[in-house]
């Protein structure tokens, strides 16, 4: 039973999951937090039990050692699990990486080079890769990129209408993110419906703290709402999503805000948090139900933007067969799904309110039987998708 270890390494945290590739079940998972701070914490979960320890974790090399300690002390044994490779989640693959790639020295340098486009994400991934190389010498490692799935977008979708030479020189274009989730969910939707992926026109709404929509034609991403960075598109927990770029010039001139102030405003103090005071969708919904006007406005802005993208992507695809909701909000918020889909029967989307309210933890249909467009809720599983892709690359 070969297994794959999936590592999602950020600048101060490292998440991992060991997945058995025969059953596709998670054998163990864990999280090491506050790397580089005096009060680190590690959690290792196996067989329904959770083991926590608090200890300083000065760097990613130590984090990998702590991870190995979790397996050694609490199981399962990595040797007995026939660990054959490690799959690393990497946020930005730029225009260079369009598929999962075996990591060697050159690939690592290229991922590092792309830190220019993803300064908050790629450096952490490179640290995780280097640390894993030390901890598991000789084991094949594969990088799976959040951007890769969107490399099939046509030029008219990814080109920004700015000076061509400036765009080329600074690699300014739409890349898109959440690709691993969009790929997994669109595949799971096709399988659930028993229809070939190649024949389906799909819209996937990944609604978590970060949120994006993807238009998928025959299994290929043709448009997505995030851009050169994950700031564009939908309203998110703390990010604004789409905004007139001149707002930034206006605030710089009139409010004296610096580039860093504006970056913080749009990435950390906007979205649900900025509008309502609450960054968690559950709080926004609860306040809105209690009559809080700002929470109600926030919920309306979220729903308006979702409808806007659903309509736009229907037009780009020339019709849609299936729409899937996924991630924290997409899978769990009855209210957000309801608000996004209300009033869309004119474009073939008919929500079944009782089905929407009854969604459990499995993949479910929430449209009526007569609805021309099928609407699903599909739990995402990015770790499994990374493991599958890693397995495919190392088995080839
Ligand atoms: P991340 O992008 O950090 O992975 P998640 O996919 O975990 O985010 O989604 C986080 C969001 O999901 C939060 O806004 C939270 O309110 C929402 N969420 C989680 N559980 C529920 C629930 N039971 N009902 C409504 N919203 C939920």
| 158-193 confidence digits (pLDDT tens) | 999 999 999 999 999 999 999 999 999 999 999 999
Distance 282 CA to ligand 1 centre (A): 8
pLDDT at residue 27, rounded to an integer: 98
Sheet holding 49-54, edge to edge: 49-54, 41-46, 26-33, 14-20, 3-9, 83-90, 141-145, 101-102
C-alpha to C-alpha distance for 338 and 335, rounded to whole angstroms: 5
Distance 157 CA to ligand 1 centre (A): 29
Q: Would you say the CB of residue 332 lies under 6 angstroms from ligand 1?
A: yes
pLDDT at residue 60, rounded to an integer: 96
Number of H helices, E strands in the chain: 15, 14
Q: Would you say the CB of residue 327 lies under 6 angstroms from ligand 1?
A: yes
Q: What angle do CA 374, 378, 381 make, to 5 degrees?
A: 150
Neighbours of 89 (CB within 10 A): 22
Tell the residue number behind the tokens 């209300």, with chain if given: 342
Q: Is the pLDDT of residue 202 over 90?
A: yes
Q: Would you say the CB of residue 179 lies under 6 angstroms from ligand 1?
A: no
Question: Contact at 8 Å (CB) between 211 and 327?
Answer: yes
C-alpha to C-alpha distance for 352 and 350, rounded to whole angstroms: 7
Q: Using the 8-state DSSP alphabet, how is residue 230 labeled?
A: T
Ligand 1 atom 4: residue of nearest CA = 208
Q: What is the mean pLDDT of residues 43-59?
A: 97
Q: Would you say the CB of residue 237 lies under 6 angstroms from ligand 1?
A: yes
Distance 259 CA to ligand 1 centre (A): 30
Q: What is the mean pLDDT of residues 221-242?
A: 97
Could you report the per-residue pLDDT of 69-100, keeping only the tens digit for each? Answer: 999 999 999 999 999 999 999 999 999 999 99
C-alpha to C-alpha distance for 300 and 297, rounded to whole angstroms: 5
Q: What is the mean pLDDT of residues 25-48?
A: 96
For strand 26-33 and strand 41-46, is the pairing parallel, antiparallel, or unpaired? antiparallel
pLDDT at residue 168, rounded to an integer: 97
C-alpha to C-alpha distance for 78 and 112, rounded to whole angstroms: 29
Could you report the per-residue pLDDT of 316-366, keeping only the tens digit for each? Answer: 999 999 999 999 999 999 999 999 999 999 999 999 999 999 999 999 999
Ligand 1 atom 25: residue of nearest CA = 333
Distance 281 CA to ligand 1 centre (A): 7
C-alpha to C-alpha distance for 41 and 63, rounded to whole angstroms: 10
Could you report the per-residue pLDDT of 203-217, keeping only the tens digit for each? Answer: 999 999 999 999 999
Q: What is the mean pLDDT of residues 278-295?
A: 97
Q: Which of 146, 217, 244, 261 is catalytic?
A: 146
Flag whether 281 is marked binding.
yes
At residue 46, the 3 state secondary structure works out as strand
Q: Would you say the CB of residue 279 lies under 6 angstroms from ligand 1?
A: no
Question: Contact at 8 Å (CB) between 228 and 172?
Answer: yes
Q: Is the pLDDT of residue 120 over 90?
A: no
Q: What is the mean pLDDT of residues 217-233?
A: 97
Q: Would you say the CB of residue 128 lies under 6 angstroms from ligand 1?
A: no
pLDDT at residue 78, rounded to an integer: 94
Question: Contact at 8 Å (CB) between 373 and 320?
Answer: yes
Flag whether 8 is marked binding.
yes
Flag whether 84 is marked binding.
no
**Averaged pLDDT score across all residues of the chain:** 97
C-alpha to C-alpha distance for 235 and 210, rounded to whole angstroms: 9
**What's the whole-model pTM score?**
0.96
Q: What are the φ and ψ backbone dihedral angles of 381, each rounded to 5 degrees? A: -150, 80
pLDDT at residue 389, rounded to an integer: 98
Which positions ≥6 away from 320 have C-beta within 8 Å? 201, 202, 203, 313, 314, 348, 373
The confidence band for 375, taking pLDDT boundaries of 50, 70 and 90, is: very high
Flag whether 332 is marked binding.
yes
pLDDT at residue 1, rounded to an integer: 80
Q: Would you say the CB of residue 329 lies under 6 angstroms from ligand 1?
A: yes
Active site residue 146: yes
Q: Is the pLDDT of residue 12 over 90?
A: yes
At residue 136, the 3 state secondary structure works out as coil
List residues bridging with 204 in a β-sheet.
Answer: 214, 324
Residue from 316, 333, 39, 60 nearest 202 by CA = 316
Ligand 1 atom 7: residue of nearest CA = 328
């Amino acid at each position: 039973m070969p297994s794959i270890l999936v590592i999602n390494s950020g600048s101060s945290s490292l998440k991992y999951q060991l997945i058995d590739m025969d059953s596709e079940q998670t054998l163990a998972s864990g999280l090491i937090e506050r790397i580089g701070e005096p009060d680190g914490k590690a959690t290792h979960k196996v067989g329904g039990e959770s083991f926590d320890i608090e200890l300083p974790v000065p760097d990613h090399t130590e984090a990998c050692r702590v991870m190995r300690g979790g397996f050694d002390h609490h199981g399962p044994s990595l040797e007995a699990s026939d660990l054959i490779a490690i799959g690393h989640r990497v946020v930005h693959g730029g225009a260079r990486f369009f598929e999962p790639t075996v990591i060697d020295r050159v690939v690592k340098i290229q991922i590092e080079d792309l830190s220019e486009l993803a300064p908050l994400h790629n450096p952490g991934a490179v640290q995780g890769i280097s640390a894993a190389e030390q901890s598991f010498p000789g084991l094949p490692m594969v990088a799976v990129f959040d951007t890769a799935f969107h490399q099939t977008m046509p030029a008219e979708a990814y080109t920004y209408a700015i000076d061509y030479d400036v765009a080329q020189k600074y690699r300014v274009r739409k890349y898109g993110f959440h690709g691993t989730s969009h790929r997994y969910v669109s595949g799971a939707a096709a399988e659930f419906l028993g229809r070939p992926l190649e024949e389906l026109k799909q819209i996937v709404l990944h609604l978590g703290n970060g949120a994006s929509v993807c238009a998928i034609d025959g299994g290929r991403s043709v448009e997505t709402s995030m851009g050169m960075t994950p700031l564009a598109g939908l309203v998110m927990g703390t990010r604004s999503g789409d905004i007139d770029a001149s707002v930034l010039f206006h605030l710089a001139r009139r409010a004296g805000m610096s580039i860093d102030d504006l970056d913080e405003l749009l990435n950390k103090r906007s979205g649900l948090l900025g509008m309502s005071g609450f960054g968690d969708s559950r709080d926004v919904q609860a306040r809105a139900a209690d009559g809080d006007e700002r929470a109600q406005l926030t919920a309306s802005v979220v729903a308006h933007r979702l409808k806007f993208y659903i309509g736009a992507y229907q037009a780009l695809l020339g019709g849609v067969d299936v729409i899937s909701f996924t991630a924290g909000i997409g899978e769990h918020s009855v209210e957000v799904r309801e608000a996004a889909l209300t009033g869309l029967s004119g474009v073939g989307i008919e929500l079944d309110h009782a089905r929407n309210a009854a969604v459990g933890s499995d993949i479910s249909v929430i449209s009526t039987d007569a609805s021309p467009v099928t609407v699903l809720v599909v739990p995402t599983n990015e770790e499994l998708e990374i493991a599958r892709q890693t397995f495919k690359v190392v088995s080839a």
